[in-house]
Chains A and B, each alone.
Chain A
Amino acid sequence: MMGNLLEHMGIDRDRIHFSWISSAEATKFVDVVREISEKVRALGPNKKFVKDYTK
């Protein structure tokens, strides 16, 4: 529901990721992080929900 609300507010679904990884699943962790990084890299820098501290 949290992901759905974020998406409803205009955040790209590919930037939101939920995983269940046990502390023993090191390889799964690596795979998941790689997958997310690739997806997010493909989307380019996020402009929404980012606080601009220079303002």
Chain B
Amino acid sequence: MDTCIEKIRAIGADLLAKGTVEKVIGFADGSIPMATRPIALTSDKEVDKLVFNSVCGLNLANYVSKNSLSSKEGKIAVVAKGCDARNLVTHIVENQISREQIYIIGVPCTGMVDKRKIAALFDDEITGFEEHGDTLTITSASKTETVKKADVLRHNCRVCTHSNPPVYDVMAGDPVEEQTLDHPYEDVDQIAAMDLDARWAYFENLTKNCIRCYACRNACPLCYCPTCFVDESSPQWVGKGQNEIDVTTFHFLRAFHCAGRCTDCGACVEACPMGINVRDFTRKLNKDALELFGWEAGLVLDKRPPLDAYSPNDPNDFIK
């Protein structure tokens, strides 16, 4: 995957030099090892700042929406993994941006790593992170660990079946082989197998450490409402404190607002400082969207998400 970066930089430089785009949004190194940050470049001289590796877990589609773009802005290029591209498609379908405004530099994705899993291998702070093919070398003051990338992939990447951007203007590498899964929603089924009380306890326990920082919401490209329901004070839809029912209400509604739109990109989980797998909520919705509507978000430009459209064939046996 390191090989893609030369291609990404070359494409970015070319687009900026020719003036095809005004800006290139990509990943740059963060201030600590094993971290990257989004960056917007306006000059072809800066493309060396771009990186692409296995710690680019944020979703860059989050940085292009009506709210973040001024109407005067020209075309913007975005470096997009499979999931980022699917969220860009969702933006286009939901009229947040137009297809013409955006130039998708598609990256065939081999998955992002679970930083918490890696950090758990160490007692002290990680001071170095290197990647060669599918081998990762991580160092701290006390030791060096070598791990296979496949062993530390994020859960959403392990179950990802759209690693190649479904829509793009240019690809920065040859497409990777997509996996097919026998049990794509094993995690959801495991929760469903519990009885009602155990399920309630599971979700209460899941969110018990939530500090309501809303990083999960902010990292999500789907959450572009100018004022989120949790921030609204008139009317106030949900209490703002740590009461567990308010916390659950926030999570339930945040997830539901992503129903039929979530690409399982994992940016929400990546952003959570408390290590909460908020995907447990959205995964159930994704499974239902697939089973009830045959729908996976962000794959095509000419269909609206199922809860956004009416069809006489919509399942309606829940209405009594």
Contacts and interface: CB of A to CB of B under 8 A. Distances in A.
Interface of A: 1-12, 17-20, 32, 48-52, 55
A1 B246 contact: no
Given A1-B260, A10-B201, A51-B243, A17 B288 contact: no
B243 A55 contact: yes
Interface in B287-320: 288-289, 292, 307, 318-320
A9 B199 contact: yes
A54 to B, nearest CB: 11
Most buried by A among B198, B202, B243, B318: B318
Most buried by A among B188, B191, B199: B199
Interface string B255-291: 1100110000000000000000000010011001100
Contact of B191 (A1, A3, A8, A51): A8
A10 B197 contact: yes
B284 A3 contact: no
Contact of B239 (A3, A5, A49, A51): A51
A12 to B, nearest CB: 6
A42 B200 CA distance: 20
Given A1-B289, A49-B245, A10 B199 contact: yes
Given A8-B192, A51-B245, A1 B292 contact: yes
Interface of B: 188, 191-192, 196-203, 239, 243, 245-246, 248-249, 252, 255-256, 259-260, 281, 284-285, 288-289, 292, 307, 318-320
Contact of B320 (A2, A4, A18, A50): A18
A48 B196 CA distance: 10
Contacts of B260: 1
Contact of B281 (A5, A10, A48, A50): A5
B238 to A, nearest CB: 10
Contacts of B245: 49-52
B289 A10 contact: no
A5 B318 contact: no
Contact of A8 (B197, B199, B243): B199
A21 B228 CA distance: 30
A10 to B, nearest CB: 3
A5 B175 CA distance: 35
A20 B284 CA distance: 25
A21 to B, nearest CB: 10
The 3 closest A-B pairs by CB, nearest first: A10-B200, A10-B199, A51-B245
Nearest to B307: A1
B196 A12 contact: yes
Given A8-B191, A18-B318, A51 B288 contact: no
Contacts of B284: 4-5, 8
24 contacts: A1-B256, A1-B260, A1-B289, A1-B307, A2-B256, A4-B284, A4-B288, A5-B252, A5-B256, A5-B281, A8-B191, A8-B192, A8-B284, A9-B248, A10-B196, A10-B200, A10-B203, A11-B200, A18-B318, A48-B200, A49-B245, A49-B248, A49-B249, A51-B246
Nearest to A19: B320
B297 to A, nearest CB: 13
Contacts of A12: 196
Nearest to A10: B200
Contacts of B248: 9, 49
Most buried by B among A3, A4, A7, A17: A4
